[in-house]
Each structure stands twice: as C-alpha cells, then as structure tokens.
Structure 1
C-alpha cells in the first residue's frame, strides 16, 4: 500500500461491536471477520478520506510506536482485507 492510497470500507461493509461475544467484527454481506485489538485499531482510523500515511501517522502517535512498524503491520493487514474484498483503495 502506498502512502497516498486512501483505504475505505466498501458499501455493505461495516465495523460492528458484537456485544454477545464482547468483540469487534467486520461485517459484509454473508461474511464476517472477528478483529483483534490491532485490527480494530487500524480499521477505526479508516474513514475513506485520510490517506494511508495519515492513518499510520495517527496510529504511531496514538500508540507511541515506530512509524515503520505501524506502516508494515497496517499495510499487510489492509492488503489482506483488500484481497478478500472487505476494503477498497483509491490511489
């Protein structure tokens, strides 16, 4: 994922709090992914307006972590979601 890419949840995909299981899930038509703390942190920053660089910068500041590590982890996670059609990316 490039710095200028803008990740966004496509129509019909949403972040949802599963109160029964006390966890966050990414819901899509007839599909769902249970998110861990890291996945939820990344997706909570995806708003369809900010670039990958802005999102990872915010995460690095929020968690006081090295930006390079945040970028590496976030890129892998978001690319996996993109490959499974849970995420759109505007270049």
Structure 2
C-alpha cells in the first residue's frame, strides 16, 4: 500500500456493531470478519477520500505511536482485506 493510495470499502461492505456479541464486524455479502480494536480503529478512518498516508498520520497522532510502525501494520491488514475482496484501493 502506497502513501497516496486511497483505500475504501466497496459497495455492499460495511463496518457494523453486532449487539449480540458486543463486537465490531466487517460485513460483506455472505461473509463477515470479527474485528479487534486495532482493525476497527483502522477501518473507522476509511472515508474513501483520504490517502493511506493521511490515515496513518491520523492514527499515529491519535495513539501517539510512530507513523512508520502504524503504516507497516495497517498496510498488512488492509492488504489482507483487499486480497479477500473486502477492500478496494484507488491510486
């Protein structure tokens, strides 16, 4: 994932709070992924307009963590979601 890539959730994919399990999930047609706190924090920053670089800077500021470490971890998470077709990326 490059700093200027814009990650977004495609049509039919959304972050949802499951009240029964009291947990955040990523829902897609006929599929769901349980999210941990880190996954939810990353996905909550996706708006389809901000770049990956802007998202990682916002997360680094919010959690007072090194931006390069946030970028590395976030890129791996988002790449895995993209491979499973839960995420799209605009260059």
Quote the Cα distance in structure 2 between the aligned partners of 1:4 and 1:77. 17
Quote the Cα distance in structure 2 between the aligned partners of 1:88 and 1:49. 12
**Residue 32 (str. 1) matches residue 35 (str. 2):** no
- The alpha carbon displacement at 1:34 in A equals 0.2
**Residue 86 (str. 1) matches residue 90 (str. 2):** no
Counterpart residue number, 2:43 = 43
- The alpha carbon displacement at 1:21 in A equals 0.4
What do the CA deviations read for 1:41-91 (whole angstroms, capped 9, x no partner)? Answer: 000001100000000000000000000110000000000000000000001
**Residue 18 (str. 1) matches residue 18 (str. 2):** yes
Counterpart residue number, 1:70 = 70
Q: What value does the CA root-mean-square deviation take over the aligned residues?
A: 0.3
Gaps of 5+ in 1: none
Where does structure 1 differ by over 3 angstroms across 4 or more consecutive aligned residues? none
Gaps of 5+ in 2: none
Quote the Cα distance in structure 2 between the aligned partners of 1:88 and 1:47. 12
TM-score, reference length from structure 2: 0.99
- Kindly tell me the number of residue pairs found equivalent between the two proteins: 91
